[in-house]
């Protein structure tokens, strides 16, 4: 059985990358912030299936947290993560520290136009600039042929696709469907922070998405559907709905009505206790 190679600097990876490319192998890349779960393993599996060599990065990126407390409480499980990657056949892990990724203070910011003025962009000012910055750095370091991202972070995918197009990165973006627990809760590193009672309450996100999708496809009015969802959340203790919207899955334009002839996805964000969760569900692909 192969042994996972753990790399901490760009130079270490650059040397290995040359060996991989000289052998004619393709490189698949899965960027993560650690606290790995079965959702991440779906990305890993997709990369192993599609590419000859798979590398996973683990780096909790400080520039994408607009809430310092959220950054401080983000789960850190590096040894467990590395063991999991090794068990699942990953070839290499890139595990840089903050000084490696940000050797000097960063002055640069990135703007994604309308994408950062709605939903996650509106709720988390500066978040997508931080995401774009670290993903740019990782793409420049890893230089993969394919990078894999989960559909759960739908708006982030739209941002990354814009980044790739505007900055001419030579990488294909592969989107892997959201991995869910048996009861429908989207897999997330934040789920471990939910108490048993909050874990049950959190199911309201997926239930609301599923119910709204069914009602829209059955011809219900979008305004009435959203109003009913907002009312449901108001009746649940320890839960605060941030948004529940119907959007175009690529431009993230907000829809005021449902059109079965247009691509659309439902997106939700809510706080359950002090844990912020997001989810989405395609309505029309």
Name the binding residues: 33-40, 64, 150-153, 156, 187-190
Catalytic: which of 40, 91, 127, 248?
Answer: 40
**Which parts are annotated binding residues for beta-alanine?**
64
State the maximum Cα–Cα separation within the chain, in Å, rounded to a whole number.
Answer: 60
C-alpha closest to that of 115 among 63, 170, 174, 157: 157
Other C-beta atoms closer than 10 Å to the C-beta of 118 total 18
Tokens of 94: 């890139």
Residue whose pair of structure tokens reads 């960063």 in the numeric block:
106
**Which parts are annotated binding residues for (R)-pantoate?**
64, 156
Annotation says 40 is catalytic: yes
Residues designated as active site: 40
């Amino acid at each position: 059985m192969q042994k996972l190679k753990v790399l901490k600097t760009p130079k270490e990876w650059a040397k290995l990358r040359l060996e991989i490319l000289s052998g004619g192998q393709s490189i698949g890349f899965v960027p993560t912030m650690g606290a790995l779960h079965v959702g991440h393993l779906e990305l890993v599996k997709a990369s192993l299936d599609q590419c000859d060599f798979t590398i996973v990065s683990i780096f909790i990126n400080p520039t994408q947290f607009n809430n310092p407390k959220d950054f401080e409480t983000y789960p850190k499980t590096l040894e467990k993560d590395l063991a999991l990657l090794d068990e699942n056949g990953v070839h290499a892990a890139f595990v840089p520290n903050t000084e490696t990724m940000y050797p000097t203070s960063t002055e640069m910011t990135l703007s994604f136009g309308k994408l950062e003025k709605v939903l996650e962009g509106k709720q988390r000012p500066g978040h997508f600039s931080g995401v774009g910055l670290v993903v740019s750095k990782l793409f420049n370091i890893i230089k993969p042929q394919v990078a894999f991202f989960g559909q759960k972070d739908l708006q982030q995918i739209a941002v990354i696709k814009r980044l790739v197009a505007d900055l001419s990165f030579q990488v294909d973006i592969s989107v892997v469907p959201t991995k869910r627990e048996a009861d429908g809760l989207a897999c997330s590193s934040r789920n471990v922070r939910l108490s048993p009672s909050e874990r049950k309450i959190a199911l309201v996100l997926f239930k609301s998405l599923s119910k709204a999708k069914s009602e829209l496809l059955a011809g219900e009015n979008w305004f009435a559907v959203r109003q009913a969802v907002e009312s449901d959340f108001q009746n649940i203790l320890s839960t605060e709905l941030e948004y529940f919207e119907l959007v175009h899955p690529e431009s993230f334009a907000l829809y005021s009505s449902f059109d079965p002839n247009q691509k659309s996805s439902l997106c939700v964000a809510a706080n359950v206790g002090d844990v912020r969760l997001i989810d989405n569900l395609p309505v029309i692909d």
